[in-house]
Structure 1
Amino acid sequence: MKKSLSADIYLRFLQLAETIRGLPTLPALDPLEERLLEQIANAGTRQERLCVRDLMAQRELSSPATIHTRLKSMRQKGWILLADTEDARRKQIELSEAAHAHFEKLSACIVQAAEEH
């Protein structure tokens, strides 16, 4: 069975992205942390403010305690930052510079995969 061009590009992207994951930049994330990172990145793309409480309210992800533990882990690993808001009790979640750099590398992988075909 012949692969389509788009499938071939995607598979090439996966290979390139796997290479990036092997580079010593940021510590690896577990599956829940990856889902949280996607939520944080998507909110940033939409220029929405995302607070710790907002993520903890998403019960479909996990329990609030588990989410809080994972956010703490992600912060220690260097993936996210917590910024103050006008309400001292609320912390806004933002991607770290290292996380932005990681997404830039992944974007370059997409471009490279597409250019190779």
Structure 2
Amino acid sequence: MKNSKRPADIYLRFLQLAEAIRGLPTLPPLDPLEERILEWIARASRDGDRLSVRDMMAKEEFGAPATIHNRLKAMREKGWIMLTDTEDARRKQIELTQAALLHFDKLSKCLVQAAKGMS
């Protein structure tokens, strides 16, 4: 196979590097649905949007409300997210933990490293 430098090679190298950091002992691993939920929470956080448990349970793309609630509970127990109080004691806001933010920092470094390695 020819050693080409296609744009897709950067992404494939990123996936390889990201897989390597997933093996590091930090937080318990997430299943694919939990990863999608974590990414959604991270994007909302980056955009400055407040995201409550009720808001997440209304996201049909993640499944039934009970499924989402169970996943959020598991992610909290694993240390990926935390719930904080709002002005309404019945509503909890979802936030990333410091460990989850560090995970995204590591993924970002993997992406930069992959791009540098292919240039």
Give the TM-score range, shorter chain.
over 0.9
Give the alignment's TM-score, normalised by structure 1: 0.95
Structure 1 residue 60 displacement after superposition = 2.6
Residue in 2 aligned with 1:69? 70
Residue 87 of structure 2: aligned partner: 86
- Give the Å deviation of 1:4: 4.7
Offset, 1:8:
1.1
Larger CA deviation: 99-108 vs 34-43: 34-43
In 2, the alpha carbon distance for the partners of 1:57 and 1:9 equals 35
Cα deviation, 1:28-57, whole Å, max 9, x if unaligned, reads: 111111111111011001110000000101
Cα root mean square deviation, aligned: 1.3
Q: How far apart, in 1, do the equivalents of 2:82 and 2:35 lie?
A: 15
TM-score calculated relative to the size of structure 2: 0.93
Partner of 1:51: 52
User: 1:30 — aligned with what?
Assistant: 31
**Match in the other structure for 2:101:** 100
Q: What is the CA–CA distance in structure 2 between the aligned matches of 1:80 and 1:91, rounded to whole Å?
A: 12
> Can you give the 5+ residue segments of structure 1 that lack an aligned partner in the other structure?
none
What are the Cα deviations for residues 51-79 of structure 1, in whole angstroms up to 9, with x where unaligned?
00001011231111111111000000000
In structure 2, runs of 5+ residues without a counterpart are none
How many aligned positions are there? Answer: 117
